[in-house]
Amino acid sequence: MSDDSIPQLRGYDDASLDRAFASLTADLERGAGSLNGADAVEQFRLEWLGRKHGRLKTVSEAWLKTAPPEARRPLGQRFNGLKERIEALLTDAAAGKHRAATGAAIDVTLPGTRPQLGAEHPIVRTWHEAVRIFAAMGYSVGTGPEVETDYYNFESLNFPPNHPARDTQDTLVVVGQERKPLRDRLLMRTHTSPVQIRTMEQQPPPIRLVIPGKVHRNDAADATHSPIFHQVEGLCVDEGITFGDLKGTLDHAMKAFFGSSVKTRFFPSFFPFTEPSADVQISCIFCGGKGCRKCKHSGWIELLGCGMVDPAIFGFVRQKQPAYDPEKISGFAFGMGLDRIAMMKYGISDIGLLFSGDVRFLEQFA
């Protein structure tokens, strides 16, 4: 016998039984939740316990009668459990009716249903922490679009068309852009740096700005890579800003993130939009710099890129804001991966967990 008032039973093994009964129980609880008035309660009783067409009857006809002998017990136990639950719900509903009749529909002394507590996602938490650390140094917060033009993501940051430096950022492009001039073609921003340009075009110096945000790259997902990740960009522009300011600012920020015993060191590097450029390493927070597996026995962990704003960048910005005169002003910029910082701070070994939406992972941060 088949009847679409009950789910399909795919087999008599425990997993199939559990799935079928879970689906029935979900229906049952949903139905019981919206019972309003005596007629509805009677309707509900008939739907589940009706002698001829009740769902329990259907279950017994369709599943119990044809069950192989060894499945009778597990099936029967689940069947009885469901029946008891139906009866309990009916008793509750009848009591509610009774209370309604005597004028006490809501018993305020009953314990309420406790909603599950939400928690800040570890990325959001780290994002807020970064903003707090830089806000304390006088930085404001900037944002920009995740779907960006070639001009802001690359050209204005001194990555000329077809320049090999573009290959360092595997880019996801938006389809159907071929007929536009290159500078207007849309792509998913590969870093938060375009917001540097957008902000300078909007306001004259001085600027002290942090830019947290989501970025996208055409990277295959593994334990340390994800096509979506997050960065915090920083930009400071004023008269007389030096590399010393950059070092002091980042050294302070790393100590604020990871504790005052953390050391920083700067290595020459290359970015098209900063000159000179540097990679910043921090002393390993796991072994204190002695060398361990996490720092590949070097005692240091590479964490961010930075440098002095290349005068060519001011050249692009000056088309809209003449006050960015490289003869008068200077600045520094930096960019760090939020996800990596979150993973280090909270001991998360697989970046994929951050994007899985798995409650068992997330509730650890409640």
Give the SS3 label for residue 16. helix
Nearer to ligand PHE, 158 or 274 (CB): 274
- Spatial separation of the C-alpha atoms in residues 337 and 305, rounded to whole Å: 9
Q: Phi then psi for 158, rounded to 5 degrees?
A: 75, 25
- Spatial separation of the C-alpha atoms in residues 359 and 362, rounded to whole Å: 5
- Spatial separation of the C-alpha atoms in residues 238 and 330, rounded to whole Å: 6
Under the rule (CB under 6 A), what is the footprint of ligand PHE?
191, 193, 233, 271, 274, 305-307, 333-335
Structure tokens at 56: 């329990």
First to last CA, the chain: 48
Question: Nearest 5°: CA angle at 282, between 280 and 285?
Answer: 155
Nearer to ligand PHE, 81 or 315 (CB): 315
Q: Give min distance, CB of 334 to ligand PHE, in A.
A: 5
Nearer to ligand PHE, 47 or 279 (CB): 279
294 CB-near residues (< 8 Å, 6+ apart): 284, 286, 287, 301
Q: Give min distance, CB of 152 to ligand PHE, in A.
A: 12
Q: Give min distance, CB of 221 to ligand PHE, in A.
A: 18
Task: Give the residue nearest to ligand PHE (CB).
Answer: 335
Nearer to ligand PHE, 13 or 170 (CB): 170
- Spatial separation of the C-alpha atoms in residues 122 and 346, rounded to whole Å: 8
Nearer to ligand PHE, 58 or 231 (CB): 231
DSSP 51-67: TTT-HHHHHIIIIITT-
Please, what's the b/e burial string for 164-180 (b: 16 or more CB within 10 A of its CB; e: otherwise)? eebeebebeeeeeeeee
Q: What's the half-sphere exposure (Cβ side, CA atoms, 13 Å) at 181?
A: 4
Nearer to ligand PHE, 82 or 306 (CB): 306
- Spatial separation of the C-alpha atoms in residues 28 and 21, rounded to whole Å: 10
Nearer to ligand PHE, 274 or 283 (CB): 274
Q: Give min distance, CB of 220 to ligand PHE, in A.
A: 18
Q: Give min distance, CB of 176 to ligand PHE, in A.
A: 26
Nearer to ligand PHE, 17 or 155 (CB): 155
Query: Which residues lie across from 266 on neighbouring strands?
Result: 280
Q: Give min distance, CB of 290 to ligand PHE, in A.
A: 29
Q: Give min distance, CB of 213 to ligand PHE, in A.
A: 11
- Spatial separation of the C-alpha atoms in residues 335 and 347, rounded to whole Å: 22
DSSP 270-318: EETTEEEEEEEEEE-TTTTTS--TTTTTSSEEEEEEEEEEPHHHHHHHH
Q: Give min distance, CB of 271 to ligand PHE, in A.
A: 4
Nearer to ligand PHE, 249 or 274 (CB): 274
Structure tokens at 147: 């779907």
Q: Give min distance, CB of 7 to ligand PHE, in A.
A: 50
Nearer to ligand PHE, 45 or 216 (CB): 216
Q: Give min distance, CB of 274 to ligand PHE, in A.
A: 5
